[in-house]
Each structure stands twice: as structure tokens, then as C-alpha cells.
């Protein structure tokens, strides 16, 4: 999915001057060279390997084997404070209508009983790149276009590059501790798990990472897993980088989620005198910030439909949001529930988050109102 997500930033850089070494969507029965910008082939009758050179007009070629691929030509070079040159990768699922043979993706998260994968990489020195495993999710069973949620697992990072957004903590998954970053690239939200040192192979549960992202409030069980991909993002150099083996399997048999009603229930205020509480957790850097917001119903009856309003301090502007419709007029922010998260049971919570730009020093909002009732801070 890398090509469309950052293609806006790379507009004007892409050219059609590459040599087509394999037909789009062909099958690799032996070593196959792909130099065409978005050329792809299938391996093992199960996976798609793609060149996916979206961030430069310079030539990139990959040699596809029955178990993976190797970068054989990489003439592109991008500054490390911007986007990479490409995302050559192998995947299971659907990428811009190009679906892997026989895939059962997209599949609703609630229907997944297990999702496992194994990956082995070969690294090189003297290049700037990451070894990235991508997991893509969307509220709808999308086979084309930009997905709303990207999970990135950085198994190796070389050079002065960093994930999108900013660090928000750590997580222990797949028997390892990862640094967690969260942000948005303008087209979709991104949560990244960064290994403290290079990992050359990993056998793990994809579902564990999906569940962690769900527990952070970024998705729900009604969302769909659309594809899982493994490859490299090179900024400078990269010849010799290789995925030497890749496997993935997603099994159904989970607990299907009943689709939410298309029209949310009418908004009702919290019970008088019992109110609500808001927990506001920010993470700020030089010129931006993210905020996770949790609303707790402290009343004795269910809140059906919610609107949270508050004022942001001067110099803060919302740019993107997840799990709520968030708008800003002047300093006033209005966050409204989506169709699937409008009910808050007594003692229950609803969460959403957003990213924004920052000018000057950071400070958090001090007062919140839920459906016209003032909330306490928690």
C-alpha cells in the first residue's frame, strides 16, 4: 500500500522510463527480474511480489525467487527527513485490486481465529533503509484505495530515519520489547513497532499486533484486515537487501461482529448530578502533537450518542483523527462519536485520538463538556 499513501509527496518524481522485465501479475517459476515501476509477479501460487518504486524516478530492479526477492539495482536516493524511494515487498491479501491467489482477505478482525507469519531477511551495510513488515486495516472490506490504519513492524533500522509521528511508549509482543510510535502521514494513521536492534528472522502472531492496536483504541473488531506485507523501505542504497523467505496464514472461525446500525441513536446527556470524566493523554514534539482522549460515563444510565467539546490552547490545530469525527472552529474542538461507538454504558468508556500541529509551547485543554454537561478530569 505504500505507493498511493505517499505518492502525493512524491508527485512529479515518478516517471515511466523503466524497463518492463516481467508482465504485471505474472508468475515466477524461476528467478525473475522486475524493473518496471509497479511490476509484480506471484510466487508459490499464494503470494505477490512487487517492485513498488513510488518515491523516485531512478531505476530499481528486484530479482524474484520462489521464496522471496532481492534488490539488485537501486539508483534512487532521497533525503532522510522525507519519504523513502520505494517499498519492494511480498504480500498476502489485496493491494490496489491486485489480490494474491486464493486469498481470504479482506477479513473482519472479529472473524480471525489466528493470523501467523514467518519472515527472514538478509541485510547489507552502507545503506539507509528499514526492514518493514506492514499490516493494513480498514473499516470496510477494501480491495482498492488507501486503508485507514497501517501497522508497521520495524525489524531493522539503518541510518538517520524514524517512523511517522512520535514515541508513545513500549509494548512486549512476539517475545520482544518494541518502541511504539504513533502518528499520521496525512492519508492514514500509523502505529509503528520499532525493534531496538536488528532482527533477521521472526516467527510470530500477526493477530497479537492487531489486538494491541485495537486495545489502543485505533481500530475495533469490526474493522477488516486487508493485507500483510514484508519488504524494505530504502532511502539511500540497498542493493543486496533480500527477503529470503516469507509465509503467512490467516484463519477464520472467530466471532463475527454484528454490523452497527447505519443511523446512530439520538444523543442523550449523562444523568444529572452524576456526570462524566475525561482523561486527556498528550504527546508533543517541536511542531506537532498527538492526544488520546478517554471519556468515562460516571452515571447510572447509558449515554446514547456523545459530543465532546473543549477549547485548545493557542497555537494548536487538529489535522487528523481516529475513532471520532473531530472538527475545529477557532479554538473550539467538537468530537462526535462514529456509528459504532456512540453508546457508553454506566462505568464504561469511549476513546478517540487525533494529531495536530503546534506553534509555541505545548499545554493541554483544561475543561470538557459532554452533551452539554461539564466533565471532571481523570
- Partnered with residue 251 across adjacent β-strands are 114
Write the Ramachandran bin of 376: left for phi over 0, alpha for psi from -120 to 50, otherwise beta: beta
C-alpha cell at 364: 493541554
Of 36, 70, 150, 179, the catalytic one is 150
Q: Which of 83, 110, 80, 69 is nearest to 11 (CA)?
A: 83
The C-alpha angle 263, 266, 268, rounded to 5 degrees, equals: 150
**150 assigned to active site:** yes
Q: What is the DSSP string of 39-82?
A: -EEEETTTEEEE----S-SS-EEEEE-SS-EEEEEE--B--TTS
In whole angstroms, give the CA distance from residue 301 to residue 362.
36
Query: Taking the CB of residue 338, how many other CB atoms lie within 10 A of it?
Result: 16
Catalytic residues: 150, 233
Amino acid at each position: 500500500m505504500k505507493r498511493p499513501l505517499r505518492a502525493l509527496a512524491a508527485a512529479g518524481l515518478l516517471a515511466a522510463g523503466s524497463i518492463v522485465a516481467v508482465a504485471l501479475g505474472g508468475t515466477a517459476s524461476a528467478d525473475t527480474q522486475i524493473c518496471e515501476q509497479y511490476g509484480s509477479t506471484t510466487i508459490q501460487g499464494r503470494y505477490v511480489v512487487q517492485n513498488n518504486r513510488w518515491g523516485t524516478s531512478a531505476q530499481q530492479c528486484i530479482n524474484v525467487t520462489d521464496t522471496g526477492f532481492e534488490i539488485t539495482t537501486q539508483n534512487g536516493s532521497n533525503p532522510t527527513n522525507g519519504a523513502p524511494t520505494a517499498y519492494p515487498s511480498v504480500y498476502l491479501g489485496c493491494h490496489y485490486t491486485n489480490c494474491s491467489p486464493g486469498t481470504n482477505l479482506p477479513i473482519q478482525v472479529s472473524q480471525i481465529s489466528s493470523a501467523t507469519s514467518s519472515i527472514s531477511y538478509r541485510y547489507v551495510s552502507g545503506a539507509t533503509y528499514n526492514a518493514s513488515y506492514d499490516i493494513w486495516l480498514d473499516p470496510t472490506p477494501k480491495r482498492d484505495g488507501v486503508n485507514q490504519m497501517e501497522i508497521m513492524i520495524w525489524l531493522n533500522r539503518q541510518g538517520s530515519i524514524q517512523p511517522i509521528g512520535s514515541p508513545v511508549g513500549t509494548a512486549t509482543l512476539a517475545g520482544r520489547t518494541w518502541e511504539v510510535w504513533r502518528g499520521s502521514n496525512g492519508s492514514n494513521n500509523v502505529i509503528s513497532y520499532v525493534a531496538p536492534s536488528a532482527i533477521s528472522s521472526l516467527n510470530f502472531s500477526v493477530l497479537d499486533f492487531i489486538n494491541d492496536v485495537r486495545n489502543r483504541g485505533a481500530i475495533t473488531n469490526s474493522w477488516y484486515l486487508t493485507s500483510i506485507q514484508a519488504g524494505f523501505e530504502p532511502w539511500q542504497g540497498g542493493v543486496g537487501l533480500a527477503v529470503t523467505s516469507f509465509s503467512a496464514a490467516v484463519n477464520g472461525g472467530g466471532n463475527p461482529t454484528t454490523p452497527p446500525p447505519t443511523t446512530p441513536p439520538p444523543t442523550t446527556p449523562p444523568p444529572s448530578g452524576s456526570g462524566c470524566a475525561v482523561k486527556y493523554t498528550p504527546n508533543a514534539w517541536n511542531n506537532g502533537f498527538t492526544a488520546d482522549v478517554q471519556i468515562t460515563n460516571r452515571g447510572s444510565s447509558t449515554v446514547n450518542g456523545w459530543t465532546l467539546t473543549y477549547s485548545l490552547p493557542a497555537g494548536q490545530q487538529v489535522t487528523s483523527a481516529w475513532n471520532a469525527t473531530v472538527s475545529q472552529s477557532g479554538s473550539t474542538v467538537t468530537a462526535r462519536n462514529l456509528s459504532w461507538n456512540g453508546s457508553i454504558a454506566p462505568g464504561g468508556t469511549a476513546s478517540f485520538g487525533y494529531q495536530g500541529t503546534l506553534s509555541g509551547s505545548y499545554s493541554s485543554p483544561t475543561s470538557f463538556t459532554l452533551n452539554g454537561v461539564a466533565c471532571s478530569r481523570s
